[in-house]
A and B are shown apart, each in its own frame.
Chain A
Amino acid sequence: MFKILNKKVLHENILQFTLEAPLIARKAEPGQFVVLRVNEYGERVPLTIADFDREKGTIDIIFMVIGASTTVLASLNAGDSILDLVGPLGKKTDIRPDMGTVVCIGGGIGVAPIYPIARKMKQVGNHVITIMGAKNKDILILKDEMEKISDEVIVTTDDGSYGIKGFVTTVLQQLIDKGIDIAEVVAIGPVIMMKTVADTTRPYNIKTIVSLNPIMVDGTGMCGGCRVQVGDETKFACVDGPEFDGHLVDFVNLMERQRMYRPKEEIEKDHICRLAKKVEEMEEK
């Protein structure tokens, strides 16, 4: 059992949990993830490690409530526990000193996993420009935190309610046009965002790393459920990634595979709703 030490509401359906997990915290590195299972009936859900504190023995996860499993997870509070937590999984981000100017791009909830990466990029002496994108200003997360660890932060919103109106690629293109010498771009967010970032940098041959989020089961390389097409090779995102060269990833196949269980996810949400209703009825009695 893994205790939830703190629960923070970043937005009405974006939550941050601090979990007691000293062994995982001891080894965690930027770019890695955990797989958790809330309870006996739960599925195994992969979530990126958004932060870790080796001394306190804690790791943080940030998630958006999108389906049945995240709904159940969100119903827990500080003091509650989750049944299973395994990690740190996947390869760590390749972060070297003196790379030069690194552009870290976080889209939506993808800002969470980009945070420890940007922080370490800066710590080892790189110049970090962070681009944060969100649909609107209400769901902008971790802005203050990102400002503390970046040399420069540029915010974009789709509707222009905060920062620059437009997408993260709008800003990225401007940086390129200005002639800034970009050593590397790291982009994490919705697949479509990572795809457009890769498309933007491709003509300039700027190294672009993306972190993929296919469906996973075990997260340790034993099933291949998370396989992705990278160049002419099939890779398992859980052990070979989750980070890959964005210029080689088959994003269309990834998006198709992510939709595989859509109809089942609806059934499951309905099931959770009915269960919750039943509990309410019982409580009323």
Chain B
Amino acid sequence: MPLVMQKHEMPEQDANVRRNNFDEVALGYTEELALAEANRCLHCKVPHCRKGCPVDIDIPAFIAKIKEGDFEGANAKIKEASSLPAICGRVCPQENQCEKYCVMGIKGEPVGIGRLERFVADYCMQNCEEKIEKTVKDDAQKVAIIGSGPAGLACAGDLAKKGYQVTIFEALHTAGGVLSYGIPEFRLPKDKVVKPEIDNLRKMGVKIEVNSVVGKLFTVDELMQEFNFDAVFIATGAGLPHFMNIPGENLNGVYSSNEFLTRCNLMKAYRFPEYATPINVGKKVAVVGGGNVAMDSARTALRLGAEKVYIVYRRSEKELPARREEVEHAKQEGIEFKLLNNPVAILGDEKGYVKAIRCIKMELGEPDASGRRRPVEIPNSEFDIDVDTVVIAIGQGPNPLIQSTTPDMQTNKRGNIIADEETGKTTKEGVFAGGDIVTGAATVILAMGAGKKAAKAIDEYLIEKRNK
């Protein structure tokens, strides 16, 4: 059988249709497509793909099961390493992870590992009666997990499997962190994917306390001393929006991407007034930034009825930090890229509403310490773009609440918690941390990887503690 050098295309909604709805863009493989794609895997003796996966899924093994038509078996194989495959199959940047190392990628396109993972997880959610057993033991040691995003969920899943009593404390009213408030429905459906995966954790016996702001309702010390938790894992993410500190940022119509996406995803403002939370999107929208969050915000604005949406980014297309696929999707939907432009001010009308964004043109200078070419302003090149909404998506920092109420735990100068990369150990006894709160804003799967590593270290710590 000749080798198929190209990935099998995944069916997706037509760009002209999908830009008007919040339904998922990528429709997923059919059984036939999944089998065909699985057959592209060569089952290398040394499977390099595995070293690209932050949670070390046995990729060849689960693909082998797909080839046999045993989708349930494939799912079980993935679940040995990852508790959230339907999510990771969708949002991992596979081109920088597993698929980057696939041998097929040298001469052609790598095997669509992410698409296959997604297929298997979706297939099982729809067709299999997955029996989740309660694994938590009522007399086991207690672990508190702060934050229910990818790092917290992954850590909770692994600790529950080992029998520990796990309680997740979540500040918002819905669990999931960025999976619930950040990534939009059209990339990651909430009721179909996020909720069932979190419910599976509950079935294992994990308790999830929503509306619980640690640092306000109780401190880390109180959790350990008064509520008798034996260990704490902090996974509060990077949820503090950065603004640009340019004039006009407090005008009406200027949103942080966090606010914009939270209103839409978590509060369902796109279904206003059925849902009570409003959102203001004008006819012309500028989104500042070039990462996935910027793409999500721009594509959300379009779906909320904007006629023209611009991405304003200070570097060139090559440096866009967003996933290639997201950039392509955004372009197909008609989003215009204003590259090598940096906002210097937001202009308002007499009533305090945005009417334009003033940008300056940039050119790329010498590479900086990170290896990226530094953008430099071209003098006297300012120009205005007429817009009535601006979304700032230039990144997020760590929320300081927990750190400021836990004085004996060290943080770095950016406010991130200092923790050991392999174990998540912080400078405070019994307290571990992982995900974006340690690394700064990164990816879902890296956060999950950190959660799993911490679970392993917490297990070792607790074994030692009970044997003392």
Contacts and interface: CB of A to CB of B under 8 A. Distances in A.
Contact of B276 (A68, A84, A89, A260): A68
A224 B258 contact: yes
Given A43-B277, A68-B276, A84 B259 contact: no
Contact of A89 (B213, B262, B273): B213
B27 interface: no
A79 B287 CA distance: 46
B259 A225 contact: yes
A41 B277 CA distance: 8
Interface stretch (B43-51, B237-245, B323-331): B237-245
B208 to A, nearest CB: 13
A44 B267 contact: yes
A183 interface: no
Interface string A65-92: 0001100100000000001111111000
A27 B213 CA distance: 12
Residue of B173, B210, B267 with most partner-chain A CB within 10 A: B173
State which size class the interface on A falls in.
35 or more
B272 interface: yes
Nearest to A253: B250
B250 A257 contact: yes
Contacts of A217: 259, 262-263, 267, 277
Given A27-B218, A84-B173, A86-B173, A41 B274 contact: yes
Nearest to B261: A223
A191 B191 CA distance: 41
A239 B401 contact: yes
A44 B277 contact: yes
B401 A222 contact: no
A271 B218 CA distance: 39
A266 to B, nearest CB: 10
Nearest to B219: A27
Given A218-B262, A224-B259, A268-B272, A256 B252 contact: yes
Contacts of B259: 217, 223-225
B277 to A, nearest CB: 4
Given A220-B213, A257-B352, A43 B267 contact: yes
A222 B278 contact: no
A245 B181 CA distance: 33
Contacts of A24: 217
A83 B174 CA distance: 11
B210 A264 contact: no
B276 A42 contact: yes
B252 A257 contact: yes
A264 B272 contact: yes
A223 B298 CA distance: 17
Interface in A43-71: 43-44, 68-69
A261 interface: yes
Interface in A244-266: 253, 256-257, 259-261, 264-265
A264 B399 contact: no
Dominant secondary structure at the B interface:
loop
B256 interface: yes
A225 B218 CA distance: 25
B347 to A, nearest CB: 15
Contacts of B253: 260
A229 interface: yes
Interface in A16-49: 23-24, 27, 37, 41-44
Interface string A202-239: 00000000000000011011111101110000100001
Interface string A170-200: 0000000000000000000000000000000
Given A44-B277, A84-B211, A253-B250, A218 B172 contact: yes
B262 to A, nearest CB: 6
Interface string B404-432: 00000000000000000000000000000
Residue of A83, A87, A223, A229 with most partner-chain B CB within 10 A: A223
B401 A260 contact: no
Contact of B278 (A41, A83, A220, A264): A264
Contacts of B258: 222-224
Contact of B273 (A223, A227, A239, A271): A271
Nearest to B239: A222
Residue of B240, B241, B273 with most partner-chain A CB within 10 A: B273
B217 A27 contact: yes
A267 interface: yes
B453 to A, nearest CB: 25
A43 B171 CA distance: 16
B274 A87 contact: no
A229 B249 CA distance: 10
B393 to A, nearest CB: 12
Interface string A266-279: 01100100000000
B280 A260 contact: yes
A69 B239 contact: no
A223 B173 contact: no
17 contacts: A27-B218, A41-B276, A85-B211, A86-B213, A89-B216, A220-B401, A222-B240, A224-B256, A227-B250, A229-B250, A234-B250, A253-B250, A257-B252, A259-B252, A261-B280, A264-B273, A271-B273
Interface of B: 171-173, 210-213, 216-218, 239-241, 243, 245, 249-250, 252-253, 255-256, 258-259, 262-263, 267, 272-278, 280, 351-352, 399, 401
Given A218-B172, A227-B243, 6 more contacts: A44-B173, A89-B216, A221-B240, A222-B239, A253-B250, A260-B280
